[in-house]
Structure 1
Amino acid sequence: MKKVMGLFLFLLIALGGCGAEITADQEADIGPDVKMDMNGVTFSIDKAEKRKEVKPEKPNGYYNYYEEKKGYTYFVVTGKAENKSAKNLDTDHITVRGFLDSAEYEGRLLFSNTEESDLVKELGKGETQTFYFILLAKDKQAAPDTLEVFYNGNFEKTEKKNHYEESIRWTLPQWE
């Protein structure tokens, strides 16, 4: 009783390496041992690992997941996200990419719901949840060393194509 997120996988493969330039008014760089703060939403990394599929912590009943896809690997950064802002964070309104030298990895941010039995796109104000930054790569590609997140300060959809108010480049820890 599960629901495969195949459309996301298809979109990542189709977009992978497209190299569309994305810009931001303000840019910041942070190190691997630093918490990332996006306008009141704080992310703390627990681990970075390669996976063949991505499932919620405690799958139950119907749940979203990313199934194994021949020839591809998921690089997944997990940890806790705490939303102290006055806004909900909808991950459809941000852009996530990974980088290693000139290689680019298209990505996605998801959260566990309260029971950690499903992967969801929204972190409500006042909530603390497990997060998943999911980056898709071909099997033999090396792991990205940087994660970049583009967003607007109010977490709303960007009005200009491929342009956001802010971006954060986060140096990733060693991959397990």
Structure 2
Amino acid sequence: MAKRALSCIGTALLMLAATLASPATDARAQDTEKRISGLALSNDEPIQIESDLLKIDEETSKATFTGNVKVVQGDTQLQAGRMIVNYDKNGGSVSSGAAQIREIELYDKVFIRADTQTATADAGNFNMVNEVLVLTGEKVVLTDAENVFIGCKLTVEMKSGQAKLDSCGRRVMIQLDPKSRPKQ
């Protein structure tokens, strides 16, 4: 798989981990929005992708990983039933490393773990052009140690560091552990 595609997948995972580290505080809000500071991305660690099947379709510019997809970069891990990498050829193929990644789609029970943080959703999308990550589902659950955030849609704008957890007509639920606050 192309080094560039793997690097982009790792960037999305690390960005989500940074999102989970900055909990929102208003449990009464229908939508929860938070500015993320100190967002640090790392593209220097190797990335390993495993799946039951990989299909590269140069005509449609898609690489599709299906069946028990696992992506690991350092301490960050992603699992999904299916992952589709959409790319622009720019005169090359994804297998040669010359393709530009536009979007990564995740389906069928998405699970992401980084250190003490996890996120689960039914589906996910990382738009590389706009640098926006979206996790969606009946129940999108974010945890950071004992802190839990539940909604139906998490949107993270990588450029600005803004994160928003939507309720989709219900209510956002947040459980904060007082012991998780930084010591002053």
Q: The TM-score by the shorter chain falls in which range? A: 0.3 to 0.5
Q: Which has the higher contact order (CA 8 A, sep 6+)?
A: 1
TM-score (norm 2): 0.31
| Structure with more helix by fraction | 2
